[in-house]
Copies of this chain bind each other. A is one copy, B any other.
Amino acid sequence: MQLHLRNSRCLVLGAGGFLGKNLCLALAEVGAIVTGFDRGPCPDIFNNRVKWKSGDFTSLQDYADDVAEADFVFHLIATTVPGTSNSDILYDIDSNLKTTVQLLEHCRKYRGKKIIFASSGGAVYGVPTTVPTPETGSTCPISSYGIMKIAIERYLSLFEHLYSLEYRILRIANPFGPFQNGQSHQGAIASFMYRILAGKVIDIWGNGEVVRDYLYVNDVVDALISVCAYDGKHRIFNIGSGEGRSLNQLLKDLSRVTGKQPDVRYHEARKTDVPSIVLDCSLAARELLWHAKTPFETSLNLTKNWMQTQI
């Protein structure tokens, strides 16, 4: 267990989401003093282990005091997903980029805070020219979601340059696990698992040969906690399993784990889907001494156990 965050004050923006819930629980576990911020009421699972602040990320006043008190600010909020972000780009800019700049302008008034930003390993590189893709790979996103992640990364770098605001960025691959909603397009594994268990049809856009880098959420949380203690020169880390799996392969894996046969319908491919992305995570291995530890089969079983409670 990592103990460097014991008694550190951690603010988690987006604490009610999939990553946020897992992170808050893990932070509480390692002895951090955790404040969770999100829309809506405090999730039951936090059970007094997390101080809850309900509010709107577009309104600085809703969380300004919490930033003032925090040592670490985890920014996990995203209002869009790659597949839908292109349909209202102005909303994407307003709700993700402008709100984050507002957060940074507020953070820079204080000394000694560190911002940990959840960027996207799947969206920032676009169609990769090198596979597995390192952090230095060219970034040419094919979604507004990815363009906004890159712009936020650049503003973080700018604020360090201008105001010595500290930050770390994790470009996270495709996380899955408990608390990922199977009914809200959050990820293929959650969606497929839910639909198999609930006996519903699975829709796939394209021929199912799209390859992604899936990793268990506990490994992501482990990386988010590890990076807090990192004081080296790097700022951006790929966080993935380093292994590629196609959707068709996933269907076989899920069929094996659930013991059920999926009912699949294939549709025309979408232009926002990168054909293949697998992350080169050797920088995180070297600098953070981190790697994805949970075996894939174990991860799927843990996810299944949780998902069965949600049907």
Say yes or no: is A310 at the interface (Cβ < 8 Å to chain B). Answer: no
Contact A271 B90 (CB under 8 A): no
A150 and B152 CA atoms in complex are apart in Å by 12
| Contact in complex: A147, B143 (CB < 8 Å) | no
Among A240-296, those with CB < 8 Å from B are 271-272
Give chain B residues whose Cβ lies under 8 Å from the Cβ of A93.
93, 97-98, 101
Q: Are B162 and A271 in contact (CB under 8 A)?
A: yes
State A89–B158 Cα separation when bound (angstroms): 11
A101, closest chain B residue (CB): B89
- Whether a CB of chain B sits under 8 angstroms from the CB of A154 is yes
Residues in B whose Cβ lies below 8 Å from that of A56: none
Known: A101-B89, A271-B162. A147 touches B154 (CB 8 A): yes
Q: Does A151 contact B (CB under 8 A)?
A: yes
> Which listed residue, B89, B140, B141, B151, touches A147 by the CB 8 Å rule?
B151
A94 CA to B98 CA, complexed, in Å: 9
**What bracket does the count of chain A residues touching chain B fall in?**
20 to 34
Establish whether residues B144 and A157, one from each chain, have CB atoms under 8 Å apart when the complex forms. Answer: no
Chain B's nearest CB lies how many Å from the CB of A169? Answer: 13
Number of copies: 2
A interface: dominant SS:
helix
| Interface flag for A69 (CB, 8 Å) | no
- The answer for the CA separation of A136 and B155 in the assembled complex, in Å, is 21
Bound-state CA distance A142–B161 (Å) is 7
Question: Residue A191 at the B interface, CB < 8 A?
Answer: no
**A89→B155 CA distance, assembly (Å):** 10
Instruction: Kindly state whether residue A95 has any CB partner on chain B within 8 Å.
Output: no
How far, in Å, is A56 (CB) from chain B's closest CB?
17
Residues on B with beta carbons closer than 8 Å to the beta carbon of A138: 136
**Residue A105 is within 8 A (CB to CB) of chain B in the complex:** yes
A8 proximal to B (CB < 8 A) = no
A86 in the interface (beta carbon within 8 A)? yes
Contact with B along A92-109 (1 / 0, CB 8 A): 011001100110010000
Minimal beta-carbon separation of A167 from chain B (angstroms): 14
Return the chain B residue nearest A102 by Cβ: B90
Q: Which residues of B contact A162 (CB under 8 A)?
A: 86, 142, 271-272
Given contacts A86-B158, A144-B158, A151-B151, 6 further A-B contacts (CB under 8 A): A89-B101, A89-B105, A93-B98, A142-B158, A142-B161, A144-B155
Query: Can you name 29 A-B pairs with beta carbons within 8 Å?
Result: A86-B158, A89-B105, A89-B155, A90-B98, A90-B102, A93-B97, A93-B98, A93-B101, A94-B98, A97-B97, A140-B154, A140-B157, A141-B154, A141-B158, A142-B158, A142-B161, A143-B158, A144-B158, A147-B151, A147-B154, A147-B155, A147-B158, A150-B150, A150-B151, A150-B154, A151-B151, A161-B271, A162-B271, A162-B272
